[in-house]
Amino acid sequence: MKKAVYYGVHDVRVEDVPVPEVPDDGLLVKVKYCGICGSDVHEYHHGPFVGVFAPGVWGHEFSGEVAEVGPKVDDYKPGDRVVGKAVTGAYAEYVAAPSRLFHKMADAMSYEDGAVTEPTTVACYAVGKASLQPGENTLVVGAGPIGLLTVMALKAAGAGPVYVSESAPTRRALAGELGADEVFDPTQCDLVEEMKKRTGGKGVDVSFECVGIRPSLMDCINSTRRRRRIVVEGVFMEEVSLDVFHLLEKDISLIFTLGADFDATVPLIAEGKIPSARIVTSTIGLDDIVTMGMEKLSQDIKDEIKILVNPEI
Ligand SMILES: [Zn+2]
């Protein structure tokens, strides 16, 4: 079978490798789509990351069909439609892993929905950790895949106004289509002032950092009302310095998240409350994973949001 193998920085090779053996307690799954995650792009440019992002995380947002079931598994059968929960190596025609690392898809979900389920669980988990009160106003900084999914998760959770800050025009437009009440270009306005204007001078109740750089985190800190919450979802590749006294003075909660709740998220996607697949901008074949995938997502144009790899094309 074909598999895109990560060897190191800017070294990815599509190779012919044996189909993996199905483990006794596991499944062999035929991959339908595998989404390219921002962490994979980081890995491509700066990896391999030992610890948080070991090389193994390469290709973890996928959907597929069960091809074979291990002898000790009785809750799955061939033909079942699944998504990976913590399975990696899915830039390939097949993946095999213990069955507990998969989650069944709802009938109403497409395989495209399935491929964006994992990042959606990340956004839903973050929104859950924000302990949103009815009507609270919110700010999402960064409208990449996670930011856009956070906008949808906030809307599904009944948030008050959802404001979005994003410098790329196509991403701003999509944020608006997906339910953001107002979108701002932080390079063209004073975001903190705009937030104050809309909240009687106080700032938003909850802000979500979805970029992973200091200026975005500072926008969140400065736009958020005293005694309220900031949720950090962005993957920071560098250490940042913070004025802790200022945070203390604001008596603010800084919440870090990296979790997933598939049981809660799958029904929201299946019922159409979170139309996650709207973030998909292209589908490519395995052979194009570098040129049409990794490289394209690294450009500043930011027209692409989520690219899916289809190993069958
Ligand atoms: Zn991911």
CATH number of the domain residue 228 falls in: 3.40.50.720
pLDDT in tens, 245-296: 999 999 999 999 988 989 999 999 999 999 999 999 999 999 999 999 999 9
Whether residue 268 is contained in a domain is answered as: no
> What value does the mean pLDDT of the chain take?
94
pTM of the model: 0.94
Same domain as 126, residue 100: no
Same domain as 127, residue 237: yes
Q: Can you give the residue range of the structural domain that contains 296?
A: 2-104+276-309
Whether residue 165 is contained in a domain is answered as: yes
Give the model's pLDDT for residue 1.
95
- CA of 120 from ligand 1 middle (Å) equals 9
pLDDT in tens, 26-76: 999 999 999 999 888 888 888 776 554 455 568 999 999 999 999 999 999
- CA of 148 from ligand 1 middle (Å) equals 14
Residue 59: both structure tokens together: 């290709």
- Beta-bridge partners for 26: 98
Whether residue 80 is contained in a domain is answered as: yes
- CA of 173 from ligand 1 middle (Å) equals 23
pLDDT in tens, 161-176: 999 999 999 999 999 9
Whether residue 232 is contained in a domain is answered as: yes
Q: Percentage helix, strand, coil, to 5, in the chain? A: 35, 25, 40
- CA of 244 from ligand 1 middle (Å) equals 30
Same domain as 198, residue 131: yes
Please tell me the distance from the alpha carbon of residue 250 to that of residue 225, in angstroms, as a whole number: 8
- CA of 56 from ligand 1 middle (Å) equals 12
- CA of 246 from ligand 1 middle (Å) equals 32
Please say if the pLDDT value at position 107 is more than 50. yes
Same domain as 238, residue 127: yes
Please tell me the distance from the alpha carbon of residue 172 to that of residue 165, in angstroms, as a whole number: 8
Cα 169-170-176 angle, rounded to 5 deg: 90
What is the number of structural domains in the chain? 2
- CA of 108 from ligand 1 middle (Å) equals 23
Whether residue 68 is contained in a domain is answered as: yes
Alpha helices (H) along 13-144 = 38-46, 111-115, 117-129
Same domain as 163, residue 73: no
Same domain as 249, residue 125: yes
Higher pLDDT, 47 or 307: 307
Compute CA 223 distance to the chain's CA centroid, rounded to the nearest angstrom. Answer: 23
- CA of 297 from ligand 1 middle (Å) equals 14
The enclosing domain of 56 has a CATH number of 3.90.180.10
Same domain as 281, residue 176: no
- CA of 62 from ligand 1 middle (Å) equals 10
79 exposure class (CB count in 10 Å sphere: 0-12, 13-18, 19+): exposed
Whether residue 207 is contained in a domain is answered as: yes
Whether residue 222 is contained in a domain is answered as: yes
Same domain as 163, residue 98: no
Inter-CA distances, 95 with 31, 106, 269, Å: 7, 20, 24
- Beta-bridge partners for 140: 164, 208
Whether residue 266 is contained in a domain is answered as: no
Same domain as 220, residue 291: no
Same domain as 126, residue 86: no
- CA of 116 from ligand 1 middle (Å) equals 9
**What would the mean pLDDT of 104-115 be, rounded to a whole number?**
96
